[in-house]
C-alpha cells in the first residue's frame, strides 16, 4: 500500500484541508493518506481551538489515519517542526510527503534547499545565528534569490524538503499550490474556502458563515472554541510570576535572555493581548513569543526535547488506515504504533499526556489519553 503523509494542524479542519488530502492522494498515487497532526497546542503558540480527539474526528472525514505530532515539535519553529514531522512520516514508512505552498513547484524547493545546505555550512551563517537572528532572516541576507521565502507556507515547505534530504531521502516531497485563500485572511468571503484564522474568528463570534467552508458530513461537530488564549492568561501569569529566571531560561524556545523580559513585562499585563504588546520586539515575531509562553505554561524544558521517534501515537483511523497499520506492524515488528495509551506505553508520550492534562484543566474538557480509545470511522 502506497502512503502519502500530510503534516497538519487542522485548527480547525476545513474544505481547504479536504482538497489537500484529495489532491495528495492523486499526485502521490497513494492508497492511504496519513495526517501527522499537532495535538493540544499548535505552532502559532496557542491552544488548539478543539482538542486533538475532536480534530481527529473531523480529519477522518478526508484522511485514512491520524497520528500525533510530538508536542515539543508542535510548539517549535519550522526547522524542528518539520524535522520531527518528517521523522514520524519515516517511522510510518510513508512514500511521499505532500505539503501546500504558495509556489506549487517542487523543483524550486529542491533547488533552494540545495543552496541552503551549502549556506548552512558557511561560517557567516553560524555567526548570524549566534547573533540571535532568526533562520528566515539569515537566509534572506545570505541567499541571492529569496523570492521563495517571502510567504509562510513556502518557508515551512522548504524546511520539509531539507528535513527529507537530511533524514528520510526515500520519501518523495510533493507540493500543491494553496487554493484560493490567504493564510492570514480574517474574513470568510468565499463560499467554499476560507483560512483557519477566518474560521476561528467566526466560531468565536458564533457566526454561522463557517458552515459553507467546512465538510458538510462533520459540520454538526463544530462548536464554539474549547479553549482560548484569554482563558489561558491567568494561569500563564501565575506560571511566569512563580517561576525563577533560572527555570524560565531552561524552557524550550526561550533564548537570548528573553526570560528577563518575560519576568519584567508580566507584572503589568492584565490580559493576553496586553502582554503581547509589552513583549513584542522587532527581533521576535508574535508566534515565536507565543510559543515561548506556551512552553513555559507546559513546563517544556529544552533538555527534554526529543530528537528521535521511539513510538507513534495513533489517534484515529478508518478501515483503510487500520489495514495499513496492520501491514506496518507486520513489516516492522520492533516499532511501537500505539492505539491506546496505558501504564505500559505512557512513558513514550509524557509531554503529550501533560499537554492534554493542562488543556483539560483550563478548558473543562474530560477526554484524555487514557480514557479515549483510538477513534474509528467507516471509510468514505
State the DSSP code for 346: G
Whether residue 380 has pLDDT greater than 70: no
Nearest to 367 by CA among 348, 341, 344: 341
Determine phi and psi for 203, rounding to 5 degrees: -65, -40
Whether residue 286 has pLDDT greater than 70: yes
Q: Are 84 and 309 in contact (CB under 8 A)?
A: yes
Residue 190 pLDDT level (bands cut at 50, 70, 90): low
Q: Is residue 96 part of a domain?
A: no
pLDDT in tens, 331-375: 999 999 999 999 999 999 999 999 999 999 999 999 999 999 999
Q: Is residue 243 part of a domain?
A: yes
pLDDT (0 to 100) of residue 111:
84
pLDDT (0 to 100) of residue 215:
87
Q: Write out the residue range of the structural domain in which residue 291 sits.
A: 229-304
The span from the CA of 150 to the CA of 141, in Å, is 13
For the chain, how big is the Rg over CA atoms in Å? 20
Write the CA distances from 319 to 5, 32, 79, integer angstroms: 17, 10, 33
Q: Which is more confidently placed, 24 or 192?
A: 24
Determine which helix (DSSP H) or strand (DSSP E) holds 34, and give its type and residue range: strand 32-37
DSSP reduced 3-state for 239: helix
Q: Is residue 298 part of a domain?
A: yes
Report the residue count for the chain: 380
The span from the CA of 325 to the CA of 183, in Å, is 33
Q: Is residue 171 part of a domain?
A: no
Cβ contacts of residue 205 below 8 Å, gap of 6+?
none
Cβ contacts of residue 287 below 8 Å, gap of 6+?
43, 44, 45
The span from the CA of 252 to the CA of 287, in Å, is 14
The span from the CA of 58 to the CA of 222, in Å, is 9
Whether residue 112 has pLDDT greater than 70: yes
Whether residue 135 has pLDDT greater than 80: no
Q: Is residue 131 part of a domain?
A: no
The span from the CA of 140 to the CA of 284, in Å, is 16
Q: Is 285 left (phi over 0), alpha (psi -120 to 50) or beta?
A: beta
Domains held by the chain: number: 1
| Distance from chain centroid for Cα 8 | 6
Q: Are 144 and 131 in contact (CB under 8 A)?
A: no
Q: Is residue 93 part of a domain?
A: no
Following CA atoms 201, 207, 210, 211 in sequence, which dihedral angle do they give, to the nearest 10 degrees? 160
Q: Is residue 38 part of a domain?
A: no
Strands 41-42 and 96-101: unpaired
pLDDT (0 to 100) of residue 128:
83
Q: What percent of the chain has pLDDT over 70?
A: 95
Q: Is residue 285 part of a domain?
A: yes
Mean pLDDT of the chain: 91
pLDDT (0 to 100) of residue 297:
98
Cβ contacts of residue 235 below 8 Å, gap of 6+?
297, 362
Residue 188 pLDDT level (bands cut at 50, 70, 90): low
The span from the CA of 292 to the CA of 231, in Å, is 17
Determine phi and psi for 29, rounding to 5 degrees: 50, 50
- Report DSSP letters for 315-336, one per residue: EEE-HHHHHHHHHHHHH-TTS-
Amino acid at each position: 500500500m502506497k502512503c502519502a503523509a500530510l503534516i497538519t494542524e487542522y485548527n480547525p479542519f476545513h474544505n481547504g484541508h479536504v482538497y489537500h488530502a484529495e489532491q495528495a492522494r492523486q499526485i502521490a498515487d497513494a492508497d492511504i493518506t496519513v495526517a501527522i497532526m499537532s495535538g493540544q497546542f499548535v505552532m502559532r503558540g496557542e491552544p488548539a481551538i478543539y482538542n486533538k480527539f475532536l480534530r481527529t474526528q473531523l480529519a477522518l472525514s478526508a484522511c485514512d489515519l491520524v497520528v500525533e505530532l510530538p508536542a515539543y515539535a508542535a510548539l517549535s519553529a519550522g526547522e524542528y517542526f518539520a524535522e520531527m514531522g518528517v521523522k514520524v512520516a519515516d517511522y510510518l514508512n510513508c512514500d511521499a510527503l505532500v505539503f501546500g505552498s504558495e509556489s506549487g513547484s517542487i523543483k524550486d524547493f529542491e533547488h533552494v534547499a540545495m543552496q541552503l545546505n551549502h549556506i548552512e555550512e558557511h561560517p557567516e551563517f553560524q555567526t548570524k545565528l549566534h547573533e540571535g537572528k532568526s533562520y528566515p532572516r539569515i537566509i534572506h541576507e545570505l541567499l541571492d534569490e529569496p523570492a521563495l521565502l517571502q510567504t509562510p507556507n513556502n518557508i515551512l515547505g522548504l524546511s520539509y524538503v531539507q528535513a527529507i534530504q537530511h533524514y528520510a531521502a526515500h520519501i518523495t516531497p510533493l507540493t500543491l499550490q494553496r487554493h484560493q485563500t490567504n493564510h492570514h485572511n480574517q474574513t470568510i468571503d468565499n463560499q467554499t474556502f476560507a483560512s483557519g484564522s477566518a474560521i476561528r474568528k467566526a466560531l468565536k463570534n458564533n457566526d454561522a458563515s463557517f458552515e459553507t467552508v467546512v465538510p458538510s458530513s462533520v459540520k454538526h461537530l463544530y462548536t464554539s472554541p474549547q479553549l482560548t488564549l484569554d482563558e489561558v492568561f491567568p494561569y500563564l501569569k501565575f506560571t511566569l510570576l512563580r517561576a525563577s529566571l533560572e527555570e524560565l531560561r531552561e524552557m524550550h524556545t526561550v533564548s537570548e535572555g528573553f526570560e528577563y523580559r518575560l519576568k519584567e513585562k508580566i507584572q503589568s499585563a492584565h490580559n493576553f493581548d496586553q502582554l503581547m504588546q509589552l513583549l513584542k520586539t522587532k527581533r521576535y515575531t508574535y508566534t515565536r513569543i507565543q510559543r515561548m509562553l506556551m512552553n513555559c505554561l507546559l513546563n517544556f524544558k529544552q533538555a527534554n526535547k526529543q530528537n528521535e521517534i521511539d513510538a507513534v501515537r495513533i489517534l484515529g483511523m478508518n478501515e483503510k488506515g487500520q489495514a495499513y497499520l496492520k501491514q506496518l506492524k507486520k513489516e516492522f515488528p520492533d516499532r511501537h504504533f500505539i492505539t491506546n495509551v496505558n501504564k505500559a506505553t505512557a512513558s513514550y508520550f509524557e509531554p503529550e499526556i501533560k499537554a492534554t492534562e493542562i488543556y483539560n484543566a483550563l478548558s473543562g474538557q474530560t477526554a484524555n489519553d487514557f480514557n479515549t480509545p483510538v477513534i474509528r470511522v467507516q471509510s468514505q
